[in-house]
């Protein structure tokens, strides 16, 4: 018989030891053990826990990556709101802040107010909830009141203790909300982007997006694979502990074993805080992570409470933003990138230049109009700026440096990725690729195709589309109908049952209405409503694909931009290929003519006004149309019926004036119901 109490003691001893070394390594950045020795400890603990699973507890260091991938994040209400800070961009604004603070606190102007100045980390704000010292919940900031439950992902971040350390003799607070910023350092950010580039995925624009994207992974294993880190900067609700000052709060957080940034200063007055801001504006390049400013907070908690908040910003704190760094370089080329939604973005290729410690070679020009507005040409000498973004932007051209050999940029007529025609509506700044199978946008297009209001294929969401496109099972939306169960079962985490369900859902979607299919194709400007309008005029995709600009424009609600977008879409070879694949797979590309005999309202014209109780306006319209009636927008003498709901508008008055028959909801339903 094993001696269970002894084994439990041994497990506890291992855990304490590992927690200690975790703290030394991830929080203090001062490891005592070699990696190999640390691994050995972990392995021995794992082995013991495996043998005696009754002793596994959620705060064991072996339990960081335990949970299975989630379908979605639950929402969580913060005990106290997470406020957002007002910004200051120069000395005057900091001085004005100090003046406001003193006025509310009724301090004489020449009397000092104490502030704490802290580095503002550019990451993702999180709330950590510790109950009696154990991490029980973690959430994103969200709208400040409610965020997303990211507990399982946050547990994988090694610098966040699953269990707080006891600060001396004192007990840990019953509940404490600890607020901080999850971030990625420059090195890890570069590594993640390199990896994504290798896999042809889109790179993250900046470390903040990368941190947010990593924390908001449905699969905690992905989060765990990225070296996320945290700095905490304050508390929310606390029971069982009181703080006098913010400075004391920070010391306390450090003492319970969680990471507090060392770049901070207790300032006797705003002058010292301003000096600190400028000092770090100069030194920020040395930091191994991205910081975008300095937060200045009133130190005394009593004063903070007196100051309170205005809308969702505290009146006792302000964020001083560092000035973005600029540099001068020359543009050697302007290329065009294609985004996930098909948007074509001109990008300047430049002679390498260093901006805030990073060598940059590309700058975004946003869109064609921006290129014209700034008059950026190939060969130009330009000022570029980087504000925490990986891809900097061109601020302005130094026209005095022109030689006359600069070349103007011309937007390509064909997509540089797939060769399909480029479409830009007159009133839009963005030009887009029209290719339904364009590799740059195929994931988004397939996700849209399968979405609920389109072909409604249950189980085919973003996560699976990502995987299936990466594994080359899908290259265009029509490929969905050629998926085979065997191939699906080869995918990691695809079980027998899910595969069968997915195949069934796909098969079921083949008979969706024509309007849903038209919407699913993702033609620019053709939303659900326009798709329905189109099905009132065309009985099949084939008919629609043959319609010309003029014919389309004759239809009410179809303007020149929509018509042009439809025509160019059906002209593409890719579209033709996809449509014939859909056809061969048995997807219904037609609609049956409405059966005659039930056209009880044929020739009758209706106008709807006010809200109906039992049906929506759209449903009521459809009921009328299904029976051969017409629904128009305004009441004329030719109107047969005006259906009047609650709070009717002027149409009701008009009906009375013109003596048109009105129907209340009951009468309307009787008319529809009796004769249908
Ligand atoms: Zn394309």
Ligand 1 centre distance from Cα of residue 435 (Å): 5
CA of 451 to the centre of ligand 1 (A): 21
Question: Rounded to the nearest whole angstrom, what is the distance from the C-alpha of residue 524 to the centroid of ligand 1?
Answer: 14
Tokens of 366: 């946003």
What is the topology classification, in CATH, of domain 412-593? DNA polymerase; domain 1 (1.10.150)
Tokens of 98: 């100090």
From ligand 1's centre to the CA of 432, what distance in Å? 8
Q: What is the pLDDT of residue 391?
A: 73
- Cβ-contact 257, 164 below 8 angstroms: yes
Q: What is the mean pLDDT of the chain?
A: 89
Torsion, Cα of 587, 589, 592, 593 (10° steps): 170
Is residue 198 over pLDDT 80?
no
Beta strands in 34-77 (DSSP E): 75-77
Band (69; pLDDT cuts 50, 70, 90): low
CB 360 within 8 A of CB 338: no
Q: What confidence category does residue 674 fall into, taking pLDDT thresholds of 50, 70 and 90?
A: very low
Over 70: is that where the pLDDT of 593 sits?
no
Q: What is the DSSP string of 136-193?
A: EEEEE-TTSSEEEB-HHHHTT-TTS-SBPPP-TTSPPPSEEEEEEEEE-BHHHHHHHH
Euclidean distance between CA atoms 335 and 78, whole angstroms: 46
Q: For the residues 481-510, what does the mean pLDDT come to? A: 94
pTM of the model: 0.59
Residue holding tokens 């009141």? 145
Confidence of residue 127 (pLDDT cuts 50, 70, 90): very high
**Residues contacting residue 275 through CB under 8 Å, at least 6 positions apart:** none
Report the DSSP pairing between strands 317-321 and 325-338: unpaired
Assess contact for 361 and 352: CB atoms under 8 A.
Answer: yes
What is the mean predicted confidence (pLDDT) over 296-325? Answer: 92
290-304: b (≥16 Cβ within 10 Å) or e: bbbbbbbbbbbbebb
| Cα(632)–Cα(389) distance, integer angstroms | 51
Distance separating alpha carbons of residues 454 and 75, to the nearest angstrom: 27
| 569 CA from centroid of ligand 1 (Å) | 12
Mean pLDDT of 302-316: 91
Ligand 1 centroid to 336 CA: how many Å? 11
Structure letter (DSSP) for residue 34:
-
74-97: b (≥16 Cβ within 10 Å) or e: eebebeebbbebeebeeeeebeeb
Strand-pair category, 146-148 with 134-140: unpaired
Two structure tokens written together for 465: 């589309």
What spacing in Å lies between the alpha carbon of 561 and ligand 1's midpoint?
20
Alpha-carbon distances, residue 286 vs 263, 280, 289, 384, 648 (angstroms): 12, 10, 9, 21, 66
pLDDT tens string 516-532? 999 999 999 999 989 99
Residue 138's DSSP bridge partners are: 128
**Residue 146 β-bridge partners:** 77
**Domain spans of the chain?**
4-63, 86-321, 326-401, 412-593, 605-675
Contact criterion met (CB below 8 Å) for 208 and 265: no
What dihedral angle (degrees, nearest 10) is formed by the CA atoms of 218, 224, 225, 228?
110
Residues 6+ apart with CB under 8 A from 537: 555
Maximum mean pLDDT: which of 200-204, 337-341, 578-582? 578-582
Catalytic positions: 120
Please say whether the beta carbons of 240 and 133 come within 8 A: no
CA–CA separation, 3 vs 544, rounded Å? 79
User: Class for domain 326-401, per CATH?
Assistant: mainly beta
**Alpha carbon distances (Å) from 98 to 73, 297, 556:** 40, 10, 60
526 CA → ligand 1 middle, Å = 18
Give yes or no for a contact between 80 and 236, defined as CB atoms under 8 angstroms apart: yes
Q: How many helices (H) and strands (E) does the chain have?
A: 24, 24
Mean pLDDT to the nearest integer, 40-49:
88
Phi-psi map region of 366: left, alpha, beta (phi>0 left; psi -120 to 50 alpha)? left
CA dist 378 and 371 (Å) reads 11
Centroid of ligand 1 to alpha carbon of 505 (angstroms): 29
Q: Please state which of the four CATH numbers 3.40.50.970, 3.30.470.30, 3.90.420.10, 3.30.70.20 is assigned to the domain occupying 86-321.
A: 3.30.470.30
Q: Which CATH class is domain 4-63?
A: mainly alpha
Q: In this model, does residue 675 exceed pLDDT 50?
A: no
* Ligand 1 centroid distance, CA of 434 (Å): 7
Instruction: Report the distance separating Cα 126 and Cα 156, nearest Å.
Output: 14
d(CA 423, CA 413): 8
Given 3.40.190.10, 3.40.50.10190, 3.30.70.20, 3.30.565.10, which CATH number is that of 605-675?
3.40.50.10190
Instruction: Give residue 405's pLDDT.
Output: 93
Pairing assessment for the beta strands 358-364 and 381-386 based on DSSP bridges: unpaired
From ligand 1's centre to the CA of 337, what distance in Å?
10
Q: Distance of alpha carbon 372 from its chain centroid, rounded?
A: 30
Share of the chain above pLDDT 90, in %: 58
Q: Report strand pairing: 630-631 vs 605-609.
A: parallel
Residue 251 pLDDT: 96
Ligand 1 centroid – CA 436 distance (Å): 8
pLDDT greater at residue 428 or residue 509 = 509
Q: Please tell me which residue, 193 or 351, carries the higher pLDDT value.
A: 351
Structure confidence by residue, pLDDT tens digits, 335-365:
998 988 899 999 999 999 988 667 889 898 8
Of 227-236, 466-475, 586-595, where does mean pLDDT reach its minimum?
A: 586-595
pLDDT at 318: 96
How far, in Å, CA of 186 to CA of 342, rounded? 29
d(CA 49, CA 43): 10
């Amino acid at each position: 018989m094993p001696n269970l109490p002894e084994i439990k003691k041994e497990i506890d001893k291992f855990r304490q030891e590992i927690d200690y070394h975790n703290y030394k390594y991830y929080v203090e950045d001062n490891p005592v053990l070699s990696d190999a020795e640390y691994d050995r400890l972990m392995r021995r603990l794992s082995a013991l826990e495996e043998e005696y699973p009754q002793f596994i507890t959620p705060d064991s260091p072996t339990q960081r990556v335990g949970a299975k991938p989630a379908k979605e994040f639950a929402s969580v209400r913060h005990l106290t709101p997470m406020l957002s800070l007002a910004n200051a961009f120069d000395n005057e604004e900091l001085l004005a802040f100090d003046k406001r603070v003193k006025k509310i606190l009724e301090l004489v102007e020449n009397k000092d107010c104490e502030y704490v100045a802290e580095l503002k980390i550019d990451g993702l704000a999180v709330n950590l909830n510790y109950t009696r010292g154990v991490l029980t919940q973690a959430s994103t900031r969200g709208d400040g009141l409610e965020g997303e439950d990211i507990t399982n992902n946050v547990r994988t971040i090694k610098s966040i203790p699953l269990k707080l350390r006891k600060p001396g003799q004192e007990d840990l607070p019953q509940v404490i909300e600890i607020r901080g910023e999850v971030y990625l350092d420059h090195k890890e950010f570069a590594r993640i982007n390199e990896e994504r580039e290798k896999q042809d995925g889109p790179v993250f624009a900046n470390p903040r997006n990368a941190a947010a994207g990593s924390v908001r992974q449905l699969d905690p294993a992905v989060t765990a694979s990225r070296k996320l880190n945290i700095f905490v900067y304050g508390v929310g609700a606390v029971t069982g502990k009181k703080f006098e000052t913010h400075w004391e709060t920070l010391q306390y957080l450090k003492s319970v074993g969680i990471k507090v940034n060392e770049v901070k200063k207790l300032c006797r007055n705003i002058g010292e805080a301003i000096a600190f801001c400028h000092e770090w504006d100069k030194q920020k390049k040395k930091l191994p992570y991205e910081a975008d400013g300095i937060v200045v907070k009133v130190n005394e908690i009593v004063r903070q409470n007196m100051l309170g908040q205005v809308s969702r910003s505290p009146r006792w704190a302000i964020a001083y933003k560092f000035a973005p760094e600029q540099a001068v370089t020359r543009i050697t080329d302007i290329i065009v990138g294609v985004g996930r939604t098909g948007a074509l973005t001109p990008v300047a290729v430049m002679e390498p230049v260093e901006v805030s410690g990073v060598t940059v070679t590309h700058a975004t020009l946003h869109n064609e109009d921006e290129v014209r507005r700034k008059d950026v040409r190939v060969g130009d000498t330009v000022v570029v700026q980087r504000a925490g973004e990986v891809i900097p932007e061109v601020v302005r051209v130094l026209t005095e440096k022109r030689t006359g050999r600069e070349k103007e940029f011309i937007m390509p007529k064909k997509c540089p990725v797939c060769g399909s025609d480029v479409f830009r509506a007159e009133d839009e700044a963005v030009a887009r690729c029209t290719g339904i199978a364009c590799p740059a946008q195929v994931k988004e297009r397939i996700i849209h195709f399968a979405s609920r209001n389109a072909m409604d294929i249950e189980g085919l969401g973003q996560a699976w589309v990502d995987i299936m496109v990466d594994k080359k099972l899908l290259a265009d939306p029509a490929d969905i109908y050629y998926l085979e169960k065997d191939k699906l079962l080869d995918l990691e985490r695809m079980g027998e049952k899910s595969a069968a369900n997915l195949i069934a859902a796909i098969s079921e979607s083949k008979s969706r209405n024509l309007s849903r299919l038209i919407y699913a194709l993702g033609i620019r400007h053709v939303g659900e409503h326009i798709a329905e309008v189109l099905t009132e005029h065309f009985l099949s995709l084939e008919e629609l694909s043959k319609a010309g600009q003029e014919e389309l424009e004759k239809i009410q609600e179809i303007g020149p931009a929509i018509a042009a977008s439809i025509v160019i879409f059906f002209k593409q070879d890719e579209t033709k290929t996809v449509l014939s694949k859909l056809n061969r797979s048995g997807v219904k590309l037609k609609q049956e003519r409405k059966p005659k005999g039930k056209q009880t309202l044929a020739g009758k014209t209706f106008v709807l006004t006010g809200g109906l109780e039992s049906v929506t306006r759209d449903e009521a319209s459809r009921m009328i149309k299904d029976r051969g009636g017409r629904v128009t927008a305004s009441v004329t003498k030719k109107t047969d019926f005006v259906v009047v709901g609650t709070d009717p508008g002027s149409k009701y008055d008009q009906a009375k004036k013109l003596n048109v028959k009105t129907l209340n909801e009951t009468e309307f339903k009787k008319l529809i119901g009796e004769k249908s």
